[in-house]
């Protein structure tokens, strides 16, 4: 005869046998056991013995295999089709843009075969994105500190050895198409998300010491980025690092103090440099510097205002002395396809942002949520910055327009999307483990 717990165990085993998300088995067992216990107690209150009450309670739950199949549908892998769709459209637009640049009569671009090269980058990026979609993102959390230390040492070594520079910016371990400088914010963001959401089990150190260690880890890359003159990466990293620090620890006073200090130091840097002052002022008063830094802003405004609703057509050129396939690609797209094309691009960016915000609300696992916030914000900020260039009022820098502009940077951007899709894939497959700020 089956013992008192036998009916319950057999029932739970049969239910879990149908659920492929093994990480959810413990939660499913706990929840169903709770329901069974309530039924058993109600039955026993009516005077029935324990064994009979348990058998009756199990029978009330229905067929375990049917229940298991229902739970399997609830906890099956998910695809964020909206996010995937807009990213694939971005990839297609990137190749169309490169075809247009190749077809233009611009002497600087002629013979570069940008379409063929960009096709390679896009294909590699899509392959990486697909692979990361199936990777369990939680494994990255165990690599957070090693990844952080490797990146930090790479930056220090590059600073000491004086690696190659482009436009005054130090290139961290630039090997072929893999330029770690543009990858640094993404990789540091992954490392910090893992560090700040990791378990806090101090043994030889106090909680306060651990907080200081995390705070220093957030701030340490900032002087290295400043020393390398990687100011776009410095600004983006500083902003996002402090945001993720507040999100994960709740220590907004520490972050506010660091943010104000960085803002003061940045203002002093601009105040003491005529070059930086001119670059900042020329974005808002281009006529005052029409023969120097302001000239480019005037050309951008003239190009956009003359584009009209339908643009100059596929393969047209621009009177802008700057590579149209990289920094100026959003302006070039408006020049070719008009204000209508610009609005379409804006709509895609807003849709991309909306899908990320929705995913952020649906993800419950702390590390996954932190990754969505960090990587998603990184991409959205760069997309919005690229669109703001079209206004002719935004300070120009070398920040590439994600997914569209030419270069190997698209590989890390597609990789980031692969991680985001992988996190969304497992949103119903892993148990909820809420973690709040550690006071």
Q: Mind listing the pLDDT tens digit of every residue in the chain (439 residues)? A: 345 557 778 888 888 887 877 877 877 888 888 888 888 888 788 888 877 888 888 788 878 788 888 887 887 888 899 999 999 999 999 999 998 888 876 655 666 788 889 999 999 999 999 999 999 898 888 899 999 998 888 888 776 765 555 554 555 555 555 566 677 888 999 999 999 887 655 555 566 777 788 888 888 888 888 877 777 888 888 888 888 888 888 888 888 888 888 888 877 777 777 777 777 777 788 787 777 777 888 888 888 888 888 888 887 877 775 677 777 888 889 988 988 988 999 999 999 999 999 999 999 888 999 999 999 999 999 999 989 888 888 888 878 889 999 888 899 999 999 999 999 998 887 876 544 443 3
Q: Which long-range contacts (CB under 8 A, 24 or more apart) does 199-206 make?
A: 200/438
Domain boundaries, the chain: 4-75, 81-426
CB contact set of 390 (below 8 Å; sequence gap of 6+) = 300, 304, 330, 331, 334, 342
CA distance 90 to 377: 17
Here the tokens at position 222 are 């900032």
Query: How far, in whole angstroms, is CA 271 from its chain's centroid?
Result: 33
Tell me which DSSP letter residue 390 carries: G
CA distance 234 to 254: 19
Alpha helices in 197-230 (DSSP H): 207-219, 221-227
Least Cα distance to 167 among 262, 239, 231, 110 occurs for 231
φ, ψ for residue 165, nearest 5 deg: -125, 150
DSSP class per residue in 103-126: HS--TTTTT--HHHHHHHHHHHHH
State the pTM of this model.
0.84
Secondary structure class of 161 (helix, strand, coil)? helix
Tell me which DSSP letter residue 24 carries: G
Alpha helices in 18-143 (DSSP H): 25-45, 50-60, 64-74, 81-103, 114-133, 139-142
Taking the CA atoms of residue 155, residue 159, residue 163 and residue 164 in that order, the dihedral angle to the nearest 10 degrees is 90
CA distance 99 to 122: 14
CA distance 129 to 93: 18
CA distance 405 to 330: 8
CA distance 191 to 198: 11
CB contact set of 433 (below 8 Å; sequence gap of 6+) = 364, 365, 366
């Amino acid at each position: 005869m089956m013992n008192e717990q036998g009916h319950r165990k057999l029932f739970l085993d049969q239910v879990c046998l149908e659920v492929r998300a093994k990480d959810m088995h413990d939660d499913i067992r706990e929840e169903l056991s709770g329901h069974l216990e309530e039924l058993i107690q109600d039955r026993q209150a009516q005077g029935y013995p324990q064994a009979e009450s348990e058998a009756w309670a199990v029978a009330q739950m229905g067929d375990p295999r049917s229940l298991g199949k229902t739970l399997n549908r609830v906890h099956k892998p998910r695809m964020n089709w909206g996010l995937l769709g807009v990213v694939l459209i971005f990839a297609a637009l990137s190749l169309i843009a490169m075809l247009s640049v190749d077809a233009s009569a611009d002497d600087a671009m002629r013979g570069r075969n940008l379409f063929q090269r960009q096709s390679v980058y896009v294909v590699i990026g899509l392959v990486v994105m697909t692979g990361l979609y199936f990777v369990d993102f939680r494994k990255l959390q165990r690599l957070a500190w090693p990844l952080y230390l490797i990146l930090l040492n790479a930056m220090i070594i590059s600073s000491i050895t004086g690696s190659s520079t482009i436009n005054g910016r130090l290139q961290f371990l630039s090997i072929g198409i893999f330029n770690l400088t543009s990858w640094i914010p993404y990789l540091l963001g992954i490392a910090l998300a893992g560090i700040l959401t990791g378990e806090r089990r101090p043994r030889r150190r106090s909680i306060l010491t651990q907080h200081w260690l995390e705070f220093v880890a957030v701030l340490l890359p900032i002087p290295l980025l400043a020393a390398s003159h990687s100011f776009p990466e410095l600004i983006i990293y500083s902003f996002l690092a402090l945001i993720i620090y507040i999100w994960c620890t709740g220590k907004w006073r520490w972050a506010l103090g660091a943010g104000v200090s960085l803002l003061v130091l940045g203002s002093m840097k601009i105040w003491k440099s005529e070059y930086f002052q001119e670059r900042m002022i020329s974005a808002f008063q281009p006529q005052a510097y029409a023969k120097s830094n302001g000239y480019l802003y005037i050309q951008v405004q003239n190009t956009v205002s003359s584009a009209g609703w339908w643009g100059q057509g596929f393969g047209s050129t621009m009177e802008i002395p700057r590579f149209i396939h990289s920094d100026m690609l959003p302006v070039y797209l408006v020049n070719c396809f008009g204000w209508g094309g610009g609005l379409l691009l804006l709509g895609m960016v807003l849709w991309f942002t909306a899908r990320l915000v929705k995913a952020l609300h649906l993800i419950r696992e702390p590390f996954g949520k932190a990754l969505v916030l960090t990587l998603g914000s990184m991409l959205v900020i760069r997309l919005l910055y690229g669109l703001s260039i079209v206004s002719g009022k935004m300070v120009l820098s070398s920040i590439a327009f994600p997914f569209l502009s030419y270069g190997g940077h698209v590989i890390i951007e597609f990789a980031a999307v692969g991680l985001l899709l992988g996190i969304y894939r497992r949103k119903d497959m892993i148990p909820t483990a809420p973690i709040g700020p550690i006071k």
